[in-house]
Every structure is written in C-alpha cells, then in structure tokens.
Amino acid sequence: MTASASVSSDATSLGSIALIGGGPGDVDLLTLRAVERLRAADVILYDDLAGDEILSFARPDAELIAVGKRAGHPSPRQQEVSRLMIGYARLGKRVVRVKSGDPSIFARADEEISAARAAGVPIEIVPGITTATAAAAYLGTSLTKRGVARRVQMVTGHDLNGRLPADLDMAALADPGATTCVFMGKATFAALADKLIAQGLSGETPTVVVESLGSPSTHVIAGSLTEIAGRLAAAKPLGPCLILYGAALAGIGHDKM
C-alpha cells in the first residue's frame, strides 16, 4: 500500500505510536522490544533504508505503508507522514513507524514526536543500533581508542538544499583526537575534506566509506582523507554511505567487497 491511504482524524478511540529503530538493516540486530512492537502493530510505516526483512515480523493483516523514497517515487513530506501516523492512531490502531538505525540520529524523530504530542497521541521511542556503531562492528574496530580517540562525533554532510552545511564547526571536525561519522555526506565529502585539511587535519587521516551496510552489497573503501574524496567521486556509490575518519580507523587499509 502507498502513503496515500485515506485516514480520517475525527475518530474517537486512541491508539498509540511506536517509533522504532530498525538498525542498520540486519534483521538480527533489531532489539527484542522492536520485534514485539512490530508483531503487535496494526499499521507499519517504513522507509527504504529500514530494510524489507524487518517487515517479516508484521502480522499478515497489518497494513504496511511505504513512506520513503523508493524506485524513483517521491517520498511523502514529513508532515504527511506525521498526519498518517496520527490519523491511524486516532482510529485506535497501534502504529509502528520504523526508522533506519536509531530514531534519535538524523531521522527527524523530533518532528514526529512533537506532532504526536501536540495531537495528544501516546508515542514511545524504541532505540536501534545506529549505522555508526554498526559500521564499527562491521569494520572490526572501536570508535574510541585509549590515547588516540577520546571522543566520537556524528555530523550531517547535507543541509536542506543538499549542500555541505555552512555552519559546521570546522575546528571540532578537524580534531585529530576524535572519530567523526559523517551521515548523508557522500556528495559533499570532497568539499568537507578540503575544509578539514585547510583547518589543519592531516590529509593522511584514516578514512573509511561504508556503503549499504547490512545488505549483501556492503562495500567498503578505505584510504587517507586526501584519497577518499577522489575515490568517492570516481566510484559514485548508489547505496547509502557512512563516512568515518580519524586515527582510530588506522589499519583498515584495504577495500572489502
């Protein structure tokens, strides 16, 4: 079913909304609580990054609604997704909204939480494994390292117009003692790398791109900060990419298909 389902908002019974983290795509990385909510759901709203296998936990009579970009179809606006969730909950349905990774990381959960609260609909958040930590596990590394990486930062490489955000804290991002995880950054990483190097971060900083984690086509490109920007531009990866850089990633020096 598509997101164009007609939902009335004047019903009186009140259901609920669970915003669940779908993790990086591997179904066995879902939490037990997420699986429970999926099994109990009357309606599941999901997007493409959440992974199809997750839907195997749905009841046969559950309504499944795609609300992400898929196969070139435009995704519904955020307000429309919130309207759908709230509309179904007002019909007394247990609504599950699946987000990829963790709902609190670059997933616009704040907007859905505010909309549900404003509508007086109970909303529960079920955390998931963010791509950042799932990528570290896949790479067999740690994001923090004693004496090497004392902090981890997550940043978006993408503003509302798809450009590198103009207000990034470049001093923080060029901290050689941090591991930085760049979400939504594949198109802007070359510009970011130039700024990082201009800010004083070494061009030799270990950098890793993880594409389509949790799928059979997971692909890793590893190299220096200077090399990766050019290799990304040449490879033009189609899948979602998380880009990590920092000294903690030293030793992940080869491509992995």
Ligand X SMILES: C[S@@+](CC[C@H](N)C(=O)[O-])C[C@H]1O[C@@H](n2cnc3c(N)ncnc32)[C@H](O)[C@@H]1O
Give the residue numbers annotated as catalytic, written as ranges.
47, 69
Of the candidates 19, 17, 15, 83, the residue with the CA atom closest to the CA atom of residue 50: 19
| 206, 179 contact by CB (below 8 A) | no
- Local structure of residue 222 (DSSP, 8 states): E
Residue 207 engages ligand X in binding (rule: CB under 6 A) = no
Pairwise CA distance, residues 37 & 57, whole Å: 9
The DSSP line for 146-197 is TTTB-EEEEEES--TTSSPPTT--HHHHT-TTEEEEEES-TTTHHHHHHHHH
Site track for ligand X across 99-118, x = CB under 6 A: xxxx--xxx-----------
Contact segment (CB under 6 A) with ligand X among 145-153, 159-167, 192-200, 235-243 equals: 235-243
Looking at the DSSP assignment, which residues form a beta bridge with residue 145?
149
Buried b / exposed e along 161-193 (16+ C-beta atoms within 10 A) = eeebeeebeeeebbbeebbbbbbbbbbbbbebb
Which of 45/119 has CB closer to ligand X?
45
Q: Does 210 bind ligand X (CB under 6 A)?
A: yes
- Binding region for ligand X (CB under 6 A) out of 7-15, 26-34, 95-103, 192-200: 95-103
Contact letters for ligand X, residues 139-168 (x by CB under 6 A): ------------------------------
Binding mask 177-206 for ligand X (x = CB under 6 A): ------xx----------------------
Residue in 20, 30, 49, 115 binding ligand X, rule: CB under 6 A: 49
Phi-psi region of 254 (alpha: psi -120 to 50; beta: other; left: phi over 0): beta
Minimal distance in Å, beta carbon 14 to ligand X? 27
Judged by CB under 6 A, the stretch of 143-151, 160-168, 192-200, 212-220 that binds ligand X is 212-220
- Residue carrying structure tokens 């971060």: 201
* Binding residues vs ligand X (CB under 6 A): 24-25, 49, 99-102, 105-107, 130-131, 183-184, 210, 212-214, 240-242
